[in-house]
């Protein structure tokens, strides 16, 4: 007997997911626990196994669609049961009379120079949607239009939320990295941040409704650039690890982030974030807080520069750190004191 499989509750309060990739096709035989579909959430890509053995009769949701938990994804029948024939797609209703479009869609059409009379509508009753107008503009030579999908969609939603909810302030200072081996630069910064967070608890916190939740763990997110976009795997218990141990842990997480093999739990629950783009970093950045955290520290480009030491000008390996913080939770003086504590630990690490 055929049964439909619904998008399960993926935990962490998630209410929806994007069908990133189907791992089966209609008519294919699957065994229980065989890989069925990849679901992209706002945390990670999760591979969901088949709950039972049988034949994939019908795939109900297309790749790229974002659907709520509980949505029917696929129908699986008894082993060997023939796949269901797809019903022919109904032609869109024919519009008569005045073009059906909202004022917003009409304004967008005017801005893009699209004549609504020649645009087929995909909305209810043949109504022209914003996507219909933008597709028509692309077809007319206005450029390439590509939908937000996968990691890029998650990044867009996450950054928009952080920008909307967090009043950010960024503090920047120069750092002398002369005593820090370049292959230990990032783990040294991560360790220095964790040790300093123990002294400045409000930067290792959450704004929870009308209360501040001070966290007693030091799980640092480390931003990693991948082919699909920026992901932030989490190094657990940084305060209990040495710089050498952190170097191994960060390298492992970065490698698996780029190969797409991180588990969902490895992208959740960070208390603070560190980001660095190495040679691409620029002089300094103004990073966006990784919501729901309240602070993030970025490392600018580190390079030999002339600096004054005593009465002499010498060449030292110098860079910057930039600390963006949520001003609802962290005062400027405390953020600056934290930043200086991090710098003192970095410069004294040799």
pLDDT tens, the chain, 350 aa long: 788 899 988 776 677 888 888 999 888 999 998 999 988 876 677 888 998 899 999 999 888 788 888 999 999 988 777 765 444 343 344 444 567 777 678 878 887 888 888 898 887 667 788 888 888 887 776 566 666 777 777 778 778 888 888 999 999 999 999 999 999 999 999 999 999 999 999 999 999 888 999 999 999 999 998 887 889 999 999 999 999 999 999 999 999 999 888 888 898 899 999 999 877 878 889 999 998 999 999 999 999 999 999 999 999 999 999 999 999 999 999 999 999 999 999 999 86
What whole-number distance in Å separates Cα of residue 101 and Cα of residue 107? 10
The pLDDT of residue 248 is: 97
23 by DSSP, 3-state: which? coil
Catalytic residues: 327
The pLDDT of residue 90 is: 39
Q: Which residues contact 1 (CB under 8 A, 6 or more apart)?
A: 77, 78
**Nearest by Cα to 249 from 219, 205, 292, 293:** 219
- Burial letters 195-210, b for 16+ CB under 10 A, else e: ebbeebebbbbbbeee
The pLDDT of residue 175 is: 96
pTM attached to this predicted model: 0.67
> Which residue ranges form the domains of the chain, and what is each CATH number?
3-77 (2.40.50.100), 103-142 (4.10.320.10), 167-347 (3.30.559.10)
The pLDDT of residue 279 is: 77
């Amino acid at each position: 007997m055929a049964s439909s499989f619904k998008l399960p509750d993926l935990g962490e309060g998630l209410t929806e997911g994007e069908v990133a990739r189907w791992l089966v096709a209609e008519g294919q035989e699957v065994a229980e626990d065989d890989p069925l579909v990849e679901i992209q959430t706002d945390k990670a890509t999760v591979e969901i196994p088949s709950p039972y053995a049988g034949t994939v009769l019908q795939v109900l949701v297309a790749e790229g669609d974002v659907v709520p938990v509980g949505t029917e994804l696929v129908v699986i029948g008894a082993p060997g049961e023939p796949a269901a024939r797809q019903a022919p797609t109904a032609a869109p209703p024919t519009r008569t009379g005045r073009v059906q479009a909202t004022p917003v869609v009409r304004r967008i059409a005017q801005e893009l120079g699209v004549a609504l009379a020649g645009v087929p509508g995909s909305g209810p009753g043949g109504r022209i949607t914003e996507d219909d107008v933008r597709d028509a503009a692309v077809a007319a030579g206005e450029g390439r239009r590509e939908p937000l999908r996968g990691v890029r969609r998650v990044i867009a939603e996450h950054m928009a939320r952080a920008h909307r909810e967090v009043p950010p302030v960024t503090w920047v200072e120069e750092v002398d990295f002369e005593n820090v081996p370049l292959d230990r630069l990032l783990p040294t910064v991560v360790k220095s941040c964790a040790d300093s967070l123990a002294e400045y608890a409000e930067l290792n916190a959450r704004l929870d409704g009308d209360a501040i939740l001070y966290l007693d763990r030091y799980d640092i997110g480390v931003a990693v650039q991948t082919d699909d976009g920026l992901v932030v795997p989490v190094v657990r218990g940084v305060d209990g690890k040495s710089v050498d141990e952190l170097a191994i842990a960060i390298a492992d997480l970065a490698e698996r982030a780029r190969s797409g093999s991180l588990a969902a739990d490895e992208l959740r629950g960070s208390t603070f974030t560190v980001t660095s783009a190495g040679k691409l970093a620029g002089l300094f950045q103004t990073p966006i807080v990784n919501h729901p955290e309240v602070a993030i520290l970025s490392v600018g480009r580190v390079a030999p520069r002339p600096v004054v030491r005593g009465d002499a000008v010498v060449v030292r390996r110098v860079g910057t750190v930039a600390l963006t913080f949520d001003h609802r939770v962290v005062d400027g003086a405390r953020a600056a004191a934290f930043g200086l504590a991090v710098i003192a630990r970095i410069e004294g690490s040799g």
